[in-house]
Amino acid sequence: MSEMSEANKDLLEKYRKEVALRRKYHEQLVELKGNIRVLCRVKPVLKEDQHEEGQSVVVTTDPNNESALSVLKGQGRSHDFELDRVFHPQATQEEVFQEIEPLVTSCIDGYHVCIFAYGQTGSGKTYTMEGSTENPGINQRALKHLFSEIEDRKDMWTYTVTVSSVEIYNEVLRDLLSKDGEKLDIKINPDGTGQLHVPGLRLIEVKSFQHIKKLLAQARRNRITFGTQMNQHSSRSHALLMITVLGTDLASGAKTTGKLNLVDLAGSERVWKSGAEGERLKEAQNINRSLLALGDVIQALRGKEKHIPFRNSRLTYLLQDSLGKGNKTAMVVQVSALESNVGETMCSLKFAERVCKVELGHPTSCSHGRPGLQGLNRHAANQIHQQAITTTNNPLCPVSQLVAP
């Protein structure tokens, strides 16, 4: 019995080392790809989007280059963009999530992660983030992956997962998981850590993916929507789903804290085109002001400025601990392919270019003058990927190899 026990301990120790090595390779691969990833998804042309007969498609993707797309601006002129990844109109929800999945794993490993969708009203942001019953979006897929990873690690780690959800509407914070939709404020935590917190925000501990799905549905019902000429069910607020993952190593007692922010931004739109008046005009102005503040923060990060203007909007202030140096961010830029939306499409893609030049503490992957996956970085990423596969396939690794007592 003692020999079996020693054999079990030896195999378990080898397993822990293999898992630690796997985590190391995973983080190296994520950092080589870039701690900030800029993805673009082109919305397929739907009948209800074609308000005018004979509207032409002005956005094209390159089947031979998954990072490129081109926008035809008229008179034979076009503007080419190159981002981290471009999804053509027929891309599936699963294809999009495959690019996001490594960041969700990083959250479980103790990193702060922010994933958000950006684009004009009606460009498909909410579909990408929330999806439908038949085709769930990033939110559900990310949370399902999170609980799957937690299950896989249960022999070595124990995790506590808490969820909160807020809406930012006209620069006012509301709790989407509270019955009365209480208005909230952002404060500095009095514990001396300098971290931000939101007093009164409801934090709910969740034990399963099914539990969190119910909370997602509740938050969705409570979100403010209102019709505009751009979209009859336009989301007039930013919606943030915030997940905190506290991990404890069962052997060493070491602790990790990861955060995952899933953000569906309100639609950016030109006021004259949205037909906004009165209260709707105020909404549009606040939405555009907060999106501009987000752009200013990203510009400051890009310029490595000492002062980053996080406090210029509730959105950037709340996301401060996930947008700063050393954290991981993915932005999915949603664009329309139609000629009638070419102005908004160009604005969204130029914003994406700005984001694509930002470094959050490590070399990143976009072109436009920053280190990319081309050349040495691509070669190194492939090497790390192969090392990770080798580690995963190691026959000494699985816990199932443990000798039964």
Residue 119 in marked binding region: yes
Q: Kindly indicate the confidence band of residue 52, based on its pLDDT and cuts at 50, 70 and 90.
A: low
The tokens describing 344, both together, are 């908004």
The mean pLDDT value for 107-128 works out to 91
Residue 181 in marked binding region: no
C-alpha to C-alpha distances, 115 to 63, 278, 284, nearest whole angstrom: 26, 32, 23
User: 278 pLDDT exceeds 70?
Assistant: no
Quickly tell me which residue has 């249960």 as its tokens.
154
Residue 387 in marked binding region: no
| Domain match, 10 and 112 both | no
Residue 54 in marked binding region: no
pLDDT in tens, 152-209: 999 999 999 999 999 998 888 999 998 776 788 888 877 766 678 898 999 999 999 9
| Domain match, 213 and 306 both | yes
Distance CA 104, CA 111 (A): 9
| Domain match, 44 and 76 both | yes
Distance CA 240, CA 144 (A): 18
Q: Which of 27-41, 59-73, 128-142 is least confident?
A: 27-41
The tokens describing 371, both together, are 């280190």
pLDDT in tens, 352-385: 887 877 766 653 334 443 334 433 344 444 444 4
| Domain match, 228 and 305 both | yes
The mean pLDDT value for 324-341 works out to 88
**Which residue did the predictor score with more confidence, 151 or 273?**
151
Structural domain harbouring 158: 35-361
Adjacent-strand bridge partners of 112: 259
Adjacent-strand bridge partners of 85: 39
**pLDDT for the residue numbered 183:** 82
Residue 120 in marked binding region: yes
| Domain match, 26 and 64 both | no
Residue 390 in marked binding region: no
Residue 234 in marked binding region: no
User: 13 pLDDT exceeds 80?
Assistant: no
Q: Is residue 367 part of a domain?
A: no
| Domain match, 180 and 91 both | yes
Average pLDDT of the residues of the chain: 78
Task: Go through the chain and tell me how many residues it has.
Answer: 405
The structural domain count of the chain equals: 2
User: Given 3-state DSSP classes, what are the helix, strand and coil percentages for the chain, each rounded to the nearest 5?
Assistant: 40, 25, 35
The reported pTM is 0.78
| Domain match, 22 and 99 both | no
Q: Is residue 366 part of a domain?
A: no
Residue 124 in marked binding region: yes
Adjacent-strand bridge partners of 239: 167, 264
Is 228 within 8 Å of 121 (Cβ atoms)? yes
Q: What angle do CA 267, 124, 92 make, to 5 degrees?
A: 155
| Domain match, 85 and 28 both | no
| Domain match, 272 and 214 both | yes
Q: Is residue 287 part of a domain?
A: yes
Considering 1-10, 189-198, 286-295, 364-373, the range whose residues carry the highest mean pLDDT is 286-295
| Domain match, 262 and 341 both | yes
Distance CA 266, CA 249 (A): 39
**pLDDT for the residue numbered 3:** 60
**CATH classification of the domain holding 288:** 3.40.850.10
Considering 25-29, 45-49, 167-171, 390-394, the range whose residues carry the highest mean pLDDT is 167-171
Is 113 within 8 Å of 322 (Cβ atoms)? yes
